[in-house]
Amino acid sequence: GAVVSQHPSRVICKSGTSVKIECRSLDFQATTMFWYRQFPKKSLMLMATSNEGSKATYEQGVEKDKFLINHASLTLSTLTVTSAHPEDSSFYICSARDRAGITWTQYFGPGTRLLVL
């Protein structure tokens, strides 16, 4: 099946620093990637939809200046958490939609655990 990777898998940073998380589709082209956030014992919350070559679409309540998304190629999307604070600590998961696939074919990355101290 299709593979989506995320890097890093885990990151610990100081409050106030910025952290970049990469999401790559390894064996398919993804015109659309999604970024989710999962709080402990909670559902996956869609943060934004990332479209290759255009601006990301953010869900209501998600600060676009806080969570910068760049989808520069058909295989790479990045999420940058700017000026991270402890409340940004969470599990961030990306998914990618196969360009050649039907609408609901989303493949998920393994996630990135962010801990802001």
Partner 1 sequence: DQQVKQNSPSLSVQEGRISILNCDYTNSMFDYFLWYKKYPAEGPTFLISISSIKDKNEDGRFTVFLNKSAKHLSLHIVPSQPGDSAVYFCAALPFNTDKLIFGTGTRLQVFP
Q: What DSSP assignment string belongs to 58-91? A: EPTT--TTTEEEEEEETTEEEEEE-S--GGG-EE
CB of 44 to partner 1, least distance (A): 4
| Residue 61 near partner 1 by CB under 8 A | no
Q: What is the rounded CA–CA span in Å between residue 117 and residue 100?
A: 41
- Closest by Cα among 71, 67, 29 to 46: 67
Tell me, residue by residue from 12 to 51, as one string, x for binding to partner 1 by CB under 8 A and - for no binding: --------------------x-x------xxxx-x--x--
- Closest by Cα among 107, 81, 103 to 92: 81
| Residue 55 near partner 1 by CB under 8 A | no
| Residue 70 near partner 1 by CB under 8 A | no
Q: Which is nearer to partner 1, 92 or 116 (CB)?
A: 92
Residues that bind partner 1 (CB under 8 A): 4, 6, 9, 32, 34, 41-44, 46, 49, 91, 93-95, 97, 103-111, 113
